[in-house]
Every structure is written in C-alpha cells, then in structure tokens.
Amino acid sequence: MPLKNIIIIILLLLSSIVNSLTVDSLLLKLKPKTLALDKIKYNLEIGRLLEYNYPDSAKIFYKNALILSKQIKNDTLEYRSLIALGYTYESTGNLDSAEILYKKAIKISIKLKRPLEEGSSLAYLGNIYYYKGNYEKTLIYYQKSLEIYEKYGDELDVAHSFHNIGLVHHDLKNYTRGLNYYEKALKIFKKYKDKEWLSTCYNSIGSIYLELKRFDLAEENYQKSLQNFMSLGDKAGIGMVLSNLGSLMIRQNKVDLAENYLTRSLNLSKEVNDIISIVNTSNNLADLFLSQKLYTKSLKYAKNALNYAHEKDILPYKKQSYFVIKTASFEIGDYKTSAMYADSLRILTDTLLNKEQFKNVEELEQKYQSEKKQLVITNLQKDQALQNEKMQNQRIYIFTFIFIFIIILAFTAFILKLLRTKQKTNLLLSSQQKTILEKNEELNQLIEEVTSQKDEIEMQKEKLFQIHEDVTQSIFYAKQIQNSILPNNELFVNNFSEHFILYKPKDIVSGDFYWITKIDNTLVLTLADCTGHGVPGAFMSMLGTSLLREIIVKEKTIEPSKILNKLRTEVINSLKQTGEIGEHKDGMDMAIISINLDTLIASYAGANNPIYIISEFKIDDFNNTELSLENSKYFSEIKSNKMPISHFVKMKNFETKTIQLHKNDQIYLFSDGYPDQFGGINNRKFKYKQFKELIFTNSNKPFNEQKDIFAKTLDIWQGNNSQVDDITVLGVKI
C-alpha cells in the first residue's frame, strides 16, 4: 500500500478517536443540574460530532436540543436545532420530515430578521425539492437564497448558491451552464481553502465530465474530491465519490476496479446510513452486473435500490433502477415485468425531464440574469444621478458667486444708470413673462395629447401581447400532442442494432413525421413530408398518422404500395379533393418500407420520397455506387413513384420494390428539408448530391456520431440563414 494512503488511514483513525473522546467529555457535562441553555449547546455539539458517521445517533441529540430550546423559548437555538435535525433527516433520506423542519426554520429566521439564516434555510429547502425531482421549485429557492447572499452574505455563501444552481442545470443535462456555475463556486472555495465544499465541488465537476465522456478529467476531479473527504474523515463523502469512481470504471469497461470501488462505497454508505448514497451505489452495481450479463445479481441490486428510493420517495434515483430491472427482466425472459417497468420508466422520465419543466427552469434562469443586470443598471443610474446632482450644485454655486459679484460690481459702477432703466426693464420682463406663460400653456396641452395617445398605444400593445401569448401557448400544447403520437424509442432499440433520428421542425410544430409498428414478424417503417409546415403541416401529419394506424394496424395491410394507395384514397376523401383548378393541393410525400424480420426481405414504395441503402452486397436492378476507401460498400438509391399522396393529374397505382437485405445493411429515410436548406458561401441549396456524399462518407461511423455530424454540418451550412422547411433524417442498421 502506498505511504500516502497509509497516512490518510491513520489520520482517519486519529480523527475518529479524537471525536469519540470529545463526545465522551461532552456527555459527562449533561447532568440534571446543568443549565438548560448549556444543555442545548452540548446536545448540538455532540450531534455535530456524530453527524457525518452516525447520523441516527446525532438525531437523538438534535431532538433534545429542539425540545429544550422550545421550552425556554429561545428562537435562535430553536433555529439551529431545526436546521441540524433537518439535515440529518435529509442525509438519511427522510425528505418529508426534513422539508417540514426547514420550513419552520425559514419562519423563525424571518421573525428574527436575520437574512443570512433565511438564505441558508431557503437553500436547504431547495435541496429537498432537488431530491424529489421538482427542479422548478428547487431553482426558485436556490435563486432566492443567492439574492440574499449577494446582498448580505460573504463570498462563501454566494459560492454555495452557485454550486446548488449548477446541480439543477447538471441534472437537466445543460452541462455547459452547470459547469460554469461549478467553476465559479470552485474558484471561491479555493480562495478560502474550504475543504468540505472543495470536495463536493470537485465531485460535481467530475460528474459533468463523466457525462461528457471526458474520462481523464472526470477521474482527476474525483480523486481530488476523494483526497479532501478522506482528510476530513467524512465517510458519507468518501462513499459518494467511490460510487462515482465505480460508475466511471464501468464506462471504461474496467470491471474489477469498478466492483472494488462500488463495494467499498456501499459498505461505507451502510455504515453511516447514507440512504441516497446507498441507492446510487446499488444502482451502479446493478449497472455493472448488467454489463457483465449477470442478470440475477443485477436485478438484486436494482430492486434493493428501488426499495430504498420508494421508501424515501427519491424520484431521480428511481429512473436508473427502472431501466436496469426492465432490461435484465427482458434478458431473462420475464417480458411481463420488463414491460411493466418500461412503462414506469417512461412515466418517470416524462415527470423529471418534461419540456414544461425545462421551459420553466430556463425562464427562471433568464429572469434571474435579467433582474441581476437591471440591478446593476439601476445602481449605475443612481450613481450617475448623484454625480449629476453634485455637478449641478457646483455649477449653481459658481454661477451664484459670479452673479452676485457682477451685481455688486454693477451696483457700485452703474447705480444711477440702473435706476433710470429700471422701469423699461420691468416692462420688458412683464412682456417676456406673458409670452412664456402662453408657450407653457401650449406645451401642457401638447403633453396631455401625447400622454393620451401613449396610453392608447399601451392598451393596444397589451392586447396584442395577450393574443400572441394565447396563440403561442396553444401551439406549444399542440406540439406536446404531436410529439406524443410519434413512436417511442423502444421499437427502434429492440429491432435494429443501431438507429438515429434527426428531427428539426421549422416552427414549433412540424409537417414532417415518422412512424413505426410491428405486425407479427414484419416491421413497417415510414417517414412523411406533409404539405407546408407549422400548424397546417402539423394537422396533415396527425391526419397521416391516424390513417396509417387504421390501414396498417387495424386492417393489417403491410405491402407498401397497397398502404400508399389506400392512404391516398383516404386523404382525398378526408380533404374532399376533386382536382378542380384553384383547389389546394394538400397532401404528403412518403417513403415506406416493410421488413420481414425472419428473411430480411424488404418491400418499399415511395411517393416522391426515395430511400438510400448502404450495403456490403450489390443490390441488383438499382442504382449502385461503389466506394473503395477503408472498405468496399455499395450505395443504392431506391427511387419512388413521381406522384404525391393527394389528388394528382396522372394518378396510377404505386409500385412495390423488393430488396434482399443483409445483416449490417444501413437504411436512410428523409424529407427534402435537408437537401433544400440554403446556406454555404454562395447561399445556395445543400442539394441531394452533397447529401448523398455526406451519408456515404460517414456510413462507417456509429449512428450516434452520424447524427452529430449531420446536425453540425447543417448548422455550419445554414449559418445565419433561417430554416427553410421541416428537416427529418432517420437511419437504421439491420
């Protein structure tokens, strides 16, 4: 064992011995004749010494302190007891009890008129809502706390708030903003050499780098956090970081190291009854055994974690447990359990990461930043006003002095002349005064007219704003409805080795849609581009989805040409199209492919939309292009019928084309939004030739990388241009 680790272990043992001796000496002071005030202080001190490693024992002493402080009506000590007891409930997972105690502490801090205690209580209450997964309420309380600290507190208080707000953005996967808050906090903690918070901050930064797959930086920050927690003797903190290191080792496929870290973490967490750490570490062990295909062991740890999470209602940690149980149950053939937990996972994911919560959190962040900037501007304006007032007073003093001097001089030199011209001067002043009064009256009338017009404009502006707000909210609600009818990820994950979906509506709602279903052993996959975009396109997409469900699922029609023929008939009937001149040509372009999962024979038909297939095997009767770079592959374009799904001048039946697919073949479906996007140096369309080259050139890469490449290429090409149309690209690998 390295000397450094031996020294740290000795320090931990010494720290434990010193704490034990201190507790014993304080217990001797808790005699019946001890004053109530001293008893409260001793109970609080003992609780503090036991808090990290023996939280359940600490609760007893904190409760004693709370009871005694109420008896002697000492609000200050009651506040300290409430916060201390609340923290032990929080650390052991009893969130509801902690919430009640923190709310009482807030009321007492307001009663005592102590803003710093109020800020601290608000931050603790924010922690509770964080563990409950209510990020909107969490951010509200953290921001209130930060406002108080910035006004009354010191830099360390502000740093605590920065770290807490960073946690919210971290969990909402806004990693750039979260990392920014963590680094601002870290800078202050380093300045004050605050080891406890340095440990926490390094751990948080490591977790963000873990999500960003920067494993070297993640391990560097976790090790810094671990060293600080060990020097503090904080077993709960050590257990938390060991669990995170275990998760990091899983990502790097270092199985033995991962199991070692996680086992040590779980033992420490159980020793100090750190419920949250127990749940997190159990979930990480479940992940580890799942990756090793040890499904029984994986289920054991996942269910153990879920029991704790259910008991304490810690929502964010349930998600990982649901995922492992769903996956492991499926692998061992328990499909009923797998389906049940899949539904639970979907519902919980929607609860934790729903778009409304993202929107509200983003609005809160923007509001806070805006108010902060406005406060700076207001202070600058006040300073400027004071400066202007000083300068004005100086001018008045100077002008007054000059004026008096001139008057005295003039009085002395020209007293006789002034007496002679006094009458003429008075007459002139009277005339000027009359003129000024007339001008003032005209000016007042003009001001009244302008004010009246301004009020009218403000009323009209307010009405227009309300109308815009109502329409926008309705469209956002329509987007939620539209997203809900899009297929979930499960059919893609279960039936393809890899897939990606690049889905970028031009407006809030989209005229593009994709759809997938499974009929017996046949998978039916389609992508459509409806006429128009925005609200009209969205209505068409919902009509198309509904008709496809009727034709394929209810009528069990799986041949692509028959599906398109029936769909065209239903669209014409639904929109009452007659083909008359001047009639709207509403409809859709579509590519649809049916794949027999047993034989891998695919059937395709298209209405103006082709599909691309990349394969190691040449597909006869189609346009094949061979690429001989890293390895030889064929690019095939399966062309569509040149007519839409709507009333058309020359309508004929759609044709089905049959293709023999092979394992690892890649299929791409798309709308025309990507090739038609304007941009580049000459501000022209991207075009299909360049689109094909982009797909083919990157076909050897994993599909998640392909999606990133398509998205980044589009952003660079588009530049400052507005998006021309809805954009959808869907890729699957057999």
Tens digit of pLDDT for each residue in 11-46?
333 344 334 446 656 666 665 656 778 888 888 888
pLDDT digit string, tens, across residues 643-701? 999 988 889 999 999 999 999 999 999 999 999 999 998 899 999 999 999 999 999 99
What is the arrangement of strands in the sheet containing 727-733, beginning at the earlier edge strand?
Answer: 498-504, 727-733, 666-670, 611-615, 632-638, 623-628
Query: What pLDDT sits at residue 209?
Result: 95
pLDDT digit string, tens, across residues 536-546? 888 889 999 99
Query: What pLDDT sits at residue 600?
Result: 96
pLDDT digit string, tens, across residues 561-580? 999 999 999 999 988 887 77
How far apart are the C-alpha atoms of 453 and 457, rounded to whole Å? 6
Helix (H, G, I), strand (E, B) or coil at 207: helix
What long-range pairs does 12-15 form, CB within 8 A, spacing at least 24? 12/230, 12/233, 15/233
Query: What percent of the chain clears pLDDT 90, i.e. is strictly above it?
Result: 42
pLDDT digit string, tens, across residues 293-340? 888 888 888 888 888 777 766 666 678 888 888 888 888 888 888 878
> What φ, ψ does residue 82 adopt, rounded to 5°?
-60, -45
> What φ, ψ does residue 719 adopt, rounded to 5°?
55, -125
Cα 164 to Cα 122, 186, 475: the distances in Å are 11, 12, 33
Query: What pLDDT sits at residue 446?
Result: 73
> What φ, ψ does residue 500 adopt, rounded to 5°?
-150, 155
| Cβ pair 498, 700 in contact under 8 A | no
Query: What percent of the chain clears pLDDT 70, i.e. is strictly above it?
Result: 78
Q: pTM for the complete prediction?
A: 0.43
Confidence of residue 465 (pLDDT cuts 50, 70, 90): low
| Cβ pair 273, 55 in contact under 8 A | yes
pLDDT of 549 strictly over 90? yes
How far apart are the C-alpha atoms of 559 and 593, rounded to whole Å? 8
Residue 539's CB: how many other CB atoms inside 10 A?
17
Query: What pLDDT sits at residue 442?
Result: 72
Alpha-helix runs per DSSP H in 486-524? 490-495
Cα 734 to Cα 270, 526, 596: the distances in Å are 45, 16, 11
